[in-house]
Amino acid sequence: MKTSHNRSHGGEGESEEASEHLIEDAQALLSATAHVAEEKVMDARKRLMAAVDRGRESLLAVREKAVAGAKATDRLVRSHPYQAAGIALGIGVLVGFIWGRRNRE
């Protein structure tokens, strides 16, 4: 479920997409081995199902925290636009200064 919001943040969207693909691949593996009744395979399937469930829960939790953080940041920036612009400018100058020094060395 990739949205336009995810596409605007390259690294975050790619990581989330990779996690979703990993879960889909694990589910496909579980489906492909459903007919195998060996004990070791059944144990491995149970562990994989548990890992997939934990992975899905973790992905949802991270997504919820990211959305909550983005909303909180948005509210803060909207309530203090000049301070936010000043902080962003200061960070930009600092990063530019550090980057410039590194390139000279």
Looking at per-residue confidence, does 66 or 101 come out higher?
66
* pLDDT for the residue numbered 102: 81
| CB atoms closer than 10 angstroms to residue 45 | 15
* Tens-place pLDDT, residues 57-77: 998 999 999 999 999 999 999
pTM comes to 0.55
Phi-psi region of 4 (alpha: psi -120 to 50; beta: other; left: phi over 0): alpha
* Tens-place pLDDT, residues 20-30: 888 888 888 77
**Is the alpha carbon torsion for 81, 87, 90, 94 positive or negative?**
negative
Determine contact, residues 49/24, Cβ cutoff 8 Å.
Answer: no
